[in-house]
Amino acid sequence: MSLKMDVPERQSDRLREKVCMVTGASRGIGRAIAVELGSHGAKVIVNYRSSEEKAEEVSDAICEVDSDAVPVQADVANLSNVHEMVEQTHDAFGNVDVLVNNAGITIDKTFDSMTREDWDRVIAVNLGGVFNCTKACFEDIKQADDGRLINISSVVGQQGNFGQANYAASKSGLFGFTRTLALELATSGSTANCVAPGFTKTDMLATVPDRIKEKILHDIPLDRFAEPEDIAGFVRFLASEESAYMTGQILSVNGGLDW
């Protein structure tokens, strides 16, 4: 099924004129978030690191529903790349109203096999990248009428996971970061919240052995993995005026998985 067939018709103008930057938006949860925001009228920066063709497909699909989108390449772990991305955003659409820190990677190994390089790379992208993007957009978000910082964490950051010490540490770090930024943004009326998805049907989950997926599924009360769109709807709510009195929160979207 093509991406364009997956994009809903324009749902509303609820996010009309909002400039939304979504990192890691060329596929998976990031792609679904970008499409969801675009379908509600947002102008979307579709960030990608290496998947240029997929990012262009996402951007084209958003434009098909009469919203605006631009694919922008940047490695979020590289601060100069991120500043260049923000400059391109300003040139294309103006200041950033909504930043969705979604980009992330995994390098899964048991701790006794994990090298310092494995640790540093995951932390640099999943936590350092959040710092870089938030730092570069911080003044924009503070000055926006309804500034929104939305961080995408994981249930793994809440409960840990075998072979993912680096990933779990990076994702749990977002909880304290989000709550602190919520306090620092509050005086300007802008908010910071975090979404912690459960196991979601993405390329990342596809690499998990079937026997492990069966075990995970057994522990999920709703008896299914999340679709990326399940997560995107919550992000759209957090980006909208409807969430104006919510800040510093961790939203668990995991099908009832106990942690």
CA distances from 88 to 35, 49, 97 (A): 20, 15, 15
| Residue 48: active-site member | no
List 48, 93, 138, 167, catalytic entry: 167
What would the two tokens of residue 133 be? 């993007």
φ, ψ for residue 188 (rounded to 5)?
A: -95, -5
CA distances from 49 to 1, 13, 85, 205, 232 (A): 24, 29, 11, 20, 20
Task: Round to whole Å and give the CA distance between 221 and 227.
Answer: 15
DSSP state letter for 66: T
Task: Round to whole Å and give the CA distance between 61 and 63.
Answer: 5
Enumerate the β-bridge partners of residue 19: 43
CA distances from 187 to 136, 141, 181, 213, 237 (A): 19, 12, 11, 44, 21
Task: Round to whole Å and give the CA distance between 177 and 24.
Answer: 19
- The number of helix segments (H) and strand segments (E) in the chain equals 11, 7
- What positions carry a catalytic annotation? 167
